[in-house]
Structure 1
């Protein structure tokens, strides 16, 4: 392995992560570890296998999409050095680099950490990147700036033991106002800021709390847990909720493992009751958030300027060919901030892709014209903040030179999309290809759509929804259609998602499936029908609700007729070869491993982490690592006996029933001693005394498990179900 270069700017925790990743890669490449265990490990370090064998996608975690100019340059340099020179902005305000060699990922991470950028928990069954409204702090409609809260959520759950190996990923979003521009309604936890009053009648900050939202094959809108929860309680509430999800959430059936399904099974009242049961064990019953300090907060108010004033400036500074575009750009991509005289400038980025050279030049423009506070937006663009009115024409000229001044940000013409079959294992059909075609078609045939902010179009390469198609007024997800012996690339059309005219977030309805090459025709029909038949001032979702799903099914049905299929329709956008479905091939196929032994290794690692937390006096984290030691040790023996369990709660129950008399022979009939020990975690305050006692019991238990396993192997070198085959990741 290569020697790593890690600077003193890198934190001790990050250094440990990076060295550990390099060691794990070394062991894996030498055949010392099972692929499935390594895959699970590297995903939580932001290293994700691509569709193309032998290369990785690296996901860079940017809390609330925040970047400085220097950080943008560092990412661009890293893309040049280790990837393809492309920066792909995602719907979760991350940036992804593609085609990275596995061996290069530790040094890439070290280079990014030098600029205070992390990969930790950007993928995997963890708390993913915490998203927030890009306008947080400058939004004229916000009751207060939520930036500090988004940062606090990110920092609180980073490397937090309660969220390292959940049944599935967990997503948090913080909107800046009731307009919900961060899509709180489709997240595991969504927060919308509000002002309320305490018992003394004083005005306090708080949040409307939504839980249990999610997209994917079975999308759910979030439910309201609290109309108002004081701001200092939102992080403790979320911690307790995650603890419940970790304990009771599904772990075997991956398609049922998101928190939305647990909420659906338990019901809101029972879920919140279990959250209360965790409160005693929380290390923070309240968590006041310290306000972040930004240089732009000290900027003096700028002299305001009217649109007419700005156009006069532009008339003297811009070339004739730029003036018409500037007027459109000023209307669609620029807004007045809540800070008097300052402006926010949106950058519309096709497919979310920006070349590294462009990124470095953009960083220079930020240093010259804006605050050093770039935000990646949830629709794969960028926001520059604190631009003076007199600088708008000059900034536009420079952005236009870079191809970053396309009018119509977040309009109907600005489509959100995932990479699809270009790089993703799970994609079914091309997302990039259809997006390019639709954007060109709308620009040529419907130029005024750059002014329409009602209809949002989002596209995903499969049903999993990275392009957030279920939350769009018009959504498409990649699919396939069989026609005789051949298969066509297809688009599933969804309508009526996103926001209604009154700001309520909805999940779209699946209406019809049609060949991908007919996507532009379907879009024309939808747009023309709405333009012709909607009432004046009627939003698209209101029109959809009035006409009903069946109306649109009948409207699009002729386009889905396969009796008129042409040869070219058997080829996907951007592809010359005949289409074939290549989906669901995970990163681990047919790997034979000793799953019991591997699980015991994991249990031992968790016990080691528990002891480390005791040494530094972080009692709550030590307790949770010890809890995971119990769970993982029990899981190992249950696997060895072929006993299936879906949840951690189920593992504890099954262990008592199958091993209770072996491990606790003096227990009375019907007693559940293992459950009593393990679930004492939420019955006690996280004190030093309880932490030391709990960790000691976990160590004693694991030693017993190891002894039991050794005796088992001495009696039978190949016990039942010792070796299992891991199939594809779905």
Structure 2
């Protein structure tokens, strides 16, 4: 642990890493409950893997921007601590697998040398802030959203208001009305707009995928840029207080909006603004660091296969708004690539572009700021790396989560079927190599990490059981989803469930029908015209399971007979709370409040104190076997069970005491008084608990 102190300059990061190392040691010694430890490591990017004894590490890369030096650093870490494979996610992160838990602190320390973090890449936190991969170069954008996405990332990283929420919270930024950031399926989505010369965003709230997808509501048609951070803080505080905590299936923002309604939620957020320090937070877009393209003379290149080159240019080269430059898209099969190629790619963009890459929501790579006369040279050099496959962001570019390869929740193979479907498309439907319309996505389970339920054609991993109680891998076929732009979208219908081995035949039937009957329609419109029953009739015979062959019991990409095996999911960071542990946490929160107070960050001090108060009350409710689903519910129940019955004496109600956070600006004097109140309250509930245990 001493080496962390000497090598890391940022004391906040150093404290984080040392804390992780200490907690791992305590966990091994049995001093921390397994479920509590899970919550802590998830918030630090350390995620349990399907294979026992190893972890998946998720590296947080805001809006998918990666500099050459950062990619090289990630490669070094992957080679040293893993197996040299990098996986791009649908949230513009990079994941590495098969990491020893005990080595995660030193892995994190190595990444931080190039300003790369694991913090809050998983767990019940604000996840990676995503954005259009063409932000800053898009010919249609009113302005570059990158500075605003970066400001949101910075403001809410380690922010006490969003460290222990009921569930994860996802934010996106779209640079244009095409809404390539997919705002309609996010907890908060921002779409760039300009009104009367003022920069701002259309704001979407409460979207989500999973087993019950929900289309986001329009919260504001236009919100100036200096209001987005205060708004998000208000939204997070209300979600933290009123959001479900016990039932993971109901713990996302979309369920809270559904329960209380958009207007009621909006009123709560607006009322919360009094407690927020800054009513406006101007974001200096001009100060944002923009990568500078290098000026080099184009090397002479001889293209051997001109036809292949022209096809690649038509699908993988994207115009930029900066004159004389283009961006080059790299199609990365299933988001997987290896460090040997990644290093050479980092060198290439450093020497001949702007030293920067963008990871896309479709698990691909975009190289911005390539001089137009360097395009043949890039084609040659990328070809040496196997990175010139045509079809960037086209129909043949299928998105898939890792599925049963590494994920605990995977039910059926995502990568295996994706591989086969891409093969079918290339071999039998070459016209789709250039079609952007058709979006195909695959998830290994209902959690939709592969975003299957917003695709034109989606597949979800499932299983089927025969009359003889034999289990085979299956796919739910979903059709008709799509991004309609400007915050509008459609979610796909579940049409039919079929054995996995029949997935290619299902795709053939869908495409053949589309080719024969759709005329010039987009698939999303063609499906809407025909309807779910039409496609059910087209595919229903594929769902028959009385005629399964031995091959049907072997999943794609596997050789052994299928076994349904689902582990414990960690997407939500489930925590089982013990009374003693909660009291210890309350003490830690008070200590954090004091640290923030001494640093002059009174807003953080106040929120740490609020968390301590609720946590202390929760401890006693847990002891009474009461539900602690929401913060608001905890506060209400504590008054009913302990204050109104005079079991615990307070001056007024517990609600009056706690909700001072809403009625007072986070000043120095209020923070000091609030901390004292929390200390006194903790002493009271601990004393009460001690007497209860003694008399039991």
Match of 2:380 in 1: 397
Is 1:681 aligned to residue 661 of structure 2? yes
Distance 2:293 2:413 in 1: 45
Match of 2:224 in 1: 230
**CA, structure 1 residues 666+513, in 2 after alignment: closer, same or farther (shift >3 Å)?**
closer
How many Å apart are 1:10 and its aligned residue?
4.0
Match of 1:417 in 2: 400
Pick from 601, 605, 615: which aligns with 2:598? 615
Match of 1:728 in 2: none
Matches within 5 A, 1:272-287: 272-287=266-281
Match of 1:376 in 2: 359
Distance 2:49 2:577 in 1: 26
**Kept in 1: contact 2:177–2:486 (CA 8 A):** no
Distance 1:70 1:132 in 2: 21
Distance 1:82 1:6 in 2: 20
**Kept in 1: contact 2:204–2:487 (CA 8 A):** no
Is 1:329 aligned to residue 312 of structure 2? yes
Match of 2:510 in 1: 526
**Kept in 1: contact 2:84–2:338 (CA 8 A):** yes
Pick from 710, 727, 730: which aligns with 2:690? 710
Pick from 429, 433, 436: which aligns with 1:453? 436
How many Å apart are 1:713 and its aligned residue?
2.2
Deviations 1:635-663 (A, max 9, x none): 00111111112111000111111110446
**CA, structure 1 residues 502+632, in 2 after alignment: closer, same or farther (shift >3 Å)?**
closer
**Kept in 2: contact 1:174–1:190 (CA 8 A):** yes
Pick from 514, 518, 530: which aligns with 2:498? 514
Is 1:499 aligned to residue 488 of structure 2? no
Deviations 1:396-429 (A, max 9, x none): 1111110111110111100011000000001100
Pick from 571, 585, 596: which aligns with 2:568? 585
Is 1:636 aligned to residue 616 of structure 2? no
**Kept in 2: contact 1:56–1:101 (CA 8 A):** yes
How many Å apart are 1:447 and its aligned residue?
1.5
Deviations 1:678-697 (A, max 9, x none): 01111111111111111110
Match of 1:80 in 2: 79
How many Å apart are 1:440 and its aligned residue?
1.3
Pick from 194, 199, 207: which aligns with 2:201? 207
- Give the secondary structure class of the aligned counterpart of 2:223: strand
CA-based RMSD of the aligned residues comes to 2.0
**Kept in 2: contact 1:415–1:458 (CA 8 A):** yes
Match of 2:135 in 1: 136
Match of 1:473 in 2: 456
Distance 1:690 1:627 in 2: 12
Point out where structure 1 has 5 or more consecutive residues left out of the alignment.
Answer: 198-202, 304-312, 717-730
Match of 2:546 in 1: 563
**Kept in 2: contact 1:10–1:113 (CA 8 A):** no
The 10-residue stretch of structure 1 (204-213 or 365-374) with the greater mean CA deviation from structure 2: 365-374
With structure 1 as the length reference, what TM-score do the two structures score?
A: 0.92
Distance 2:489 2:296 in 1: 36
Match of 1:110 in 2: 109
**Kept in 1: contact 2:294–2:352 (CA 8 A):** no
Distance 1:61 1:678 in 2: 34
How many Å apart are 1:505 and its aligned residue?
1.6
With structure 2 as the length reference, what TM-score do the two structures score?
A: 0.96
**Kept in 2: contact 1:174–1:192 (CA 8 A):** yes
**Kept in 2: contact 1:7–1:114 (CA 8 A):** no
- Give the secondary structure class of the aligned counterpart of 2:285: coil
- Give the secondary structure class of the aligned counterpart of 1:481: strand
How many Å apart are 1:509 and its aligned residue?
1.0
**Kept in 1: contact 2:617–2:635 (CA 8 A):** yes
**Kept in 2: contact 1:212–1:259 (CA 8 A):** yes
Distance 1:502 1:678 in 2: 40
**CA, structure 1 residues 593+49, in 2 after alignment: closer, same or farther (shift >3 Å)?**
closer
**Kept in 2: contact 1:511–1:552 (CA 8 A):** yes
Matches within 5 A, 1:14-93: 14-93=13-92
**CA, structure 1 residues 379+587, in 2 after alignment: closer, same or farther (shift >3 Å)?**
closer
- Give the secondary structure class of the aligned counterpart of 1:345: strand
**CA, structure 1 residues 161+4, in 2 after alignment: closer, same or farther (shift >3 Å)?**
same
**Kept in 2: contact 1:10–1:116 (CA 8 A):** no
Distance 1:593 1:414 in 2: 41
Distance 1:483 1:508 in 2: 27
**Kept in 1: contact 2:394–2:435 (CA 8 A):** yes
- Give the secondary structure class of the aligned counterpart of 2:471: strand
How many Å apart are 1:181 and its aligned residue?
0.5
**CA, structure 1 residues 489+10, in 2 after alignment: closer, same or farther (shift >3 Å)?**
farther
